[in-house]
Structure 1
Amino acid sequence: MTFAPERITDLYPTRGATEVASPRQDPVVWSAPGAPGPISAGHLADYERDGFLAVDQLITPEEVTLYRGELERLISDPEMLADERSIVEPKSREIRTVFEVHKISQIFAGLVSDPRVVGRARQILGSDVYVHQSRINVKPGFGASGFYWHSDFETWHAEDGLPNMRTVSVSIALTENYDTNGGLMIMPGSHKKFLGCAGATPKDNYKKSLQMQDAGTPSDEALTEFADAHGIRLFTGKAGSATWFDCNCMHGSGDNITPYPRSNVFIVFNSVENTAVEPFAAPVRRPDFLGARDFTPVR
């Protein structure tokens, strides 16, 4: 006797005929009240309310130098330029992003398993975690393009098959983030509502979306409503600072037309109790370097 595979209820329909906003069905902080961890109870409450948590200095200046040197080594490596895990800037044809850096580099693998980093992820998600995605981002001066407004979870649910909002990202600054060089913008509180976007997902959508988002992009009308309701927060900070943010935050970044580069390392932790299934709104899975299928907990 054979059995059909168990179907998982789609709590967050998206990529349909119309754009639909619906309340979040999942907790924001998954750990029990008073659970031990590096985040204070007050800051954890702020994270639950706003969807993000800024840390003025997560890593030391000496560590910034180490990680920035490793970033420079990777983006200047001719082999990385030809690697499918590297995304190039359309105008300059220089590397702007390298994915799966925790597997490419032992130095970045060490950062992923650092208690200051993975400890916060475990505390927020209330379980062991694995890396759903990692990358280094390079936004050089004089014209590096930004990323349009979006919810990461919308893509990870639609195209990677993450069932629930039990995923957290951390962006660690390796250069200073000014208010002028294309920094991260988040709409505080936007994580409490899911915006299901309109339009079907093209096959191999990731090849286009990694350079310019199309499928999964909110409408101007929806973004205006979100911005009017929540406002917009722009993150600045010294190299070594970090921003933790919920997977469903509406966020984006502008172009960098200043002389001052902006580079960061970006790590996405997912709960081992929220492992990926088949995509909810895409014809095929994205490659593993975008949405991991190795669910081994970070130790």
Structure 2
Amino acid sequence: MSAPSSSQTRTTQDRYYTRVSSEPALIERVEPTVWGSESSAGMYGAQELHGHAEKGFSQVPQLLTPDEVAGYAAELDRLATDPLVRADDRCIVEKKSDEVRSIFEVHRISDAIARLVADERVVGRARQILGGDVYVHQSRINYKPGFGGGGFYWHSDFETWHAEDGMPTPRAVSCSISLTENYEYNGCLMIMPGSHRTFVSCVGETPEDNYRSSLKEQEIGTPDPDSLTALANRHGIAMLTGKAGSATFFDSNCMHGSGDNITPYPRSNIFIVFNSVENACVEPYYAPRRRPEYIGARDFTPVR
């Protein structure tokens, strides 16, 4: 009998195997969504934490004041037009245009956003959800300008962070803070409520330097149509609209995406990923090597 291949070995050792089989799979999650006590004191109340555990996400209307929104919007404009930022690898432009799509590791580029990351309104909620100290796994600005801002196809962030960054379990939460009005028609965030309980194992091996193309348009690590249909039929699709200054916290394994923005109304947001310090990344599970640190951090210092 021949020895098992390395991919077979990894698959048998790892519950959340992906990109190693020719067939997709739906794998039920065993870890909690809210790791802390729902009765713990903090920015969230017990009912809000319970709702987050059930749906996989929670919305915070008007997390920022109008004056704060204006200040951060000006900061986004400054960063997008700074030639040094535009020339940096951390700046990603749209596939079909020269407009800025995302700027990564933005909390290390902007002092204003660094202060926002450490704001108790933001990090305090992440600590409540994840049950203790957290660090920033990733931060970025997403720009979705009118008349051409590209969408993000359906995906689970944890699938990519597990496969390519070495995140062991889905003990991470994302915070998306809107700086523009989110309408149903300008490419708002869509989430399948409850989908965070099911991991979708994807097909197709991770190529070398996959991040160079996936940050503009993800192909590897996207679920198959049958799996997406099954989750949508089971959970439905929520369109997350809201005013500028509102925020959405959502579990790393939520199935989510957004459409192209063909309206005149831009949609931009600050996006921060908090990971538990007890869930620090190891070597990638299903990729030849780690992604750059500005995409998947290796500094596990807790946010203070």
Normalising by structure 2, we get a TM-score of: 0.95
Kept in 2, the 8 Å contact 1:11–1:25? The answer is: no
Residue type at the aligned position of 2:89 = E
Native 8 Å contact 1:10 1:163 kept in 2: no
2:38 and 2:246 map into 1 onto residues whose CA distance is 26
Q: Is the aligned partner of 1:123 residue 2:124?
A: no
Are the aligned partners of 2:39 and 2:45 in contact in 1 as well (CA < 8 Å)? no
What residue is the counterpart of 1:80 in the other structure? 85
Q: Which amino acid aligns with 2:52?
A: Y
- Count residues in correspondence: 293
C-alpha contact 1:172 1:243 (8 A) present in aligned 2? yes
Deviations 1:235-278 (A, max 9, x none): 11110001110000000000000000000000000000000000
State whether structure 2 residue 19 is matched by structure 1 residue 15: yes
Asked if structure 2 preserves the Cα contact closer than 8 Å seen for 1:150 and 1:217, the reply is yes
The residue number in structure 2 matching 1:3 is: none
Mapped to 1, the partners of 2:73 and 2:221 lie a distance apart of 32
Conserved? CA contact 1:19–1:195, under 8 Å: yes
Q: Give the RMSD, CA atoms, in angstroms.
A: 1.2
Once the two structures are superposed, residues 49-70 of structure 1 have per-residue CA deviations (whole angstroms, 9 ceiling, x without a partner) of 0000011110100100111111
Give the Å deviation of 1:95.
1.0
1:90–1:211 contact (8 Å) kept in structure 2: yes
Partner of 2:203: 198
| Amino acid paired to 1:38 | M
Q: State the match for 1:289 in structure 2.
A: 294
Q: Matched residues in 1 for 2:15 and 2:173: separation?
A: 18
**TM-fit CA distance, 1:9:** 4.7
Deviations 1:203-259 (A, max 9, x none): 100001001111101011111111000000001111000111000000000000000
**Alignment match, 2:160:** 155
Identity %: 63
Aligned 8 A contact 2:38 2:49 in 1: no
* Rounded Cα–Cα distance in structure 1 between residues aligned with 2:70 and 2:199: 38
Structure 1 position 183 matched with structure 2 position 179: no
Q: Which of 98, 102, 111 lines up with 1:106 in the alignment?
A: 111
- The answer to whether the Cα contact below 8 Å between 1:87 and 1:96 also exists between their aligned partners in 2 is yes
Q: Which amino acid aligns with 2:160?
A: T
Q: Which amino acid aligns with 1:100?
A: E
- Counterpart Cα distance in 1 of 2:41 and 2:274: 18
Pair 1:265-2:270 in alignment: yes
The two structures have a TM-score, normalised by structure 1, of: 0.96
Secondary structure in structure 1 of the residue aligned to 2:278: coil
- The equivalent position to 1:274 in structure 2, one of 275, 279, 285, is 279
Code of the residue aligned with 1:132 in structure 2: it is: H
The CA distance in 2 between the partners of 1:27 and 1:268, in whole Å, is 18
CA distance in 1, matches of 2:176, 2:217: 20
- Give the gaps of 5 or more residues in structure 2: 1-9
